[in-house]
Amino acid sequence: MRRLRNVKIVATLGPASEDYDMIRALYEAGADVFRLNMSHGTHDEIREKHRIIRQIEKELDSPIAILADLQGPKLRVGVFANEEEELADGATFRFDLDDVPGDATRVQLPHPEIFAALSKGAHLLVNDGKIRLRVTDCGPEFATCEVIAGGTISNRKGVNVPDVVLPLAALSDKDRDDLEFVCGLGVDWLALSFVQRAEDVEEARALVQGRAAVLSKIEKPSAVDGFEAILAASDGIMVARGDLGVELPVQNVPPIQKRLVRRCRAAAKPVIVATQMLESMISSPMPTRAEVSDVATAIYEGADAIMLSAESAAGDYPVEAVTTMNNVAVEVESDPTYTQIIEAQRTANRTSVADAIVAAAREIAETTEIKAICCFTESGTTALLTARERPRVPIIALTSLRGTARRLALTWGTNCVITSEVTRFKMAVVSAARAARAQGYAEPEDQIVVTAGLPFNVPGTTNILRVAPCDERLIYNTDPE
């Protein structure tokens, strides 16, 4: 299904979007990628959503990406004798390993790893940062704190520790089970929560064994600090602004978002901007103006994808939320200012033949009457490099591998077409011309740019560029074998 925009839309599935009719409606409204949140739902429920998506993909003959989002370790306080207590500013409060129900002075924190990492002056955040405490004394089994910002603390509220790198793996036992399950199902992307260091990504990649692309969620200050190494170890990035805004001052998040999006683009790796993009549409059919501006900002920054969470998973208006995102994207990308901003951010990253080929393809397309750039790709790298250029004409990614086509559904501007294997360049050009016409991007009298690698079906060998007609008779008459 041809989209009238380049940025991709990720829709999270949940109770409000779990049957065939709703999932198909979300796709037709504009969703390109479906996110399965492993924090919610049983394996049987996840399996059924996966089956429905693949059924829709087959019916519409259009590759759809599925992203499984692992929960990650959850740090929570224990329980209170009265279920909740009120903490006053300036009060002293203690966390410890004792499982006796808590009171107004203490509560269990059943995570010795936290105590092992704490030092005086470190901060603990409870209930999404609504309660803030500073450590005044600590040991292997306790932390005594001063309440900086008080409030109501209750059973099993989440805890964030922003100041230190915790000696915790990004994968819990549940995550390992979920990882094996979704890789066995055949998801295309695996999102890692609680990433603190590149080693967390490498551990997951070893378990994935190439069955899915690995995407790191940036939601902790340590991940921001070590971003370059994490980016190098990952296939893609999600800027998870929710937890990031809890562990960092909220005013820090927008510039971090801009920096991370630009770094991902320079590295030719897809990046998703996520969390609270159209939050009010959980219960309202219309977004706020500020939310529309937030979505537009991510698009102007050049993000590959923008994501809906509860809006499509549990909201009252999931289709309207996707439609709103689609409409905002179409409007923004038709703005001349958008093109100016995107092209001003373009950097010269030309260190290989493939880099030079895709840059030349973009320059030729933008200076002549070229209708599309058609790139043959096995691993997806050529399409990623082409998308990094953010050309003004459509990108048609042709591949014989369905898995590659699905993964590229997350990448800016890529229109994925599954073709039969080709062994001769002439047939590659013919296939590209047919795809450009079939997808409605070109007419027989138009021209396209075709990029490929010789020999064929060898990843990373992009080394040829051809300006070709869309009329097959001209191709057969003019192209060498």
Backbone angles phi, psi at 321, to 5 degrees: -65, -45
275 given a catalytic annotation: yes
Give dist(CA 150, CA 86) in Å, integer: 7
Which of 5, 8, 35, 220 is flagged as catalytic? 35
263 given a catalytic annotation: no
Residue count of the chain, please give it.
481
Percent composition of the chain: helix, strand, coil (DSSP 3-state, to 5): 40, 25, 35
217 given a catalytic annotation: yes
248's tokens: 């960092």
Cβ-count burial 368-407 (b if 16+ within 10 Å, e if not) = eebbbbbbbbbebbbbbbbbbbbbebbbbbbbbbebbbbb
Residues in a beta bridge with 13: 36
Q: Give which of 429, 332, 349 is closest to 387, Cα–Cα.
A: 349
419 given a catalytic annotation: no
Backbone angles phi, psi at 95, to 5 degrees: -105, 140
Which of 74, 76, 263, 392 is flagged as catalytic? 76
- Given phi > 0 = left and psi -120 to 50 = alpha, else beta, which region is 346? beta
- Given phi > 0 = left and psi -120 to 50 = alpha, else beta, which region is 90? left
SS3 string of 371-439?
EEEEEECCCCHHHHHHHHCCCCCCEEEEECCHHHHHHHCCCCCEEEEECCCCCCHHHHHHHHHHHHHHC
To which residue do tokens 């602004």 refer?
Answer: 241
Give dist(CA 177, CA 68) in Å, integer: 13
Give dist(CA 88, CA 152) in Å, integer: 9
Which of 5, 106, 197, 217 is flagged as catalytic? 217
Which of 106, 132, 205, 275 is flagged as catalytic? 275
Looking at the annotation, which residues are catalytic?
35, 76, 217, 275
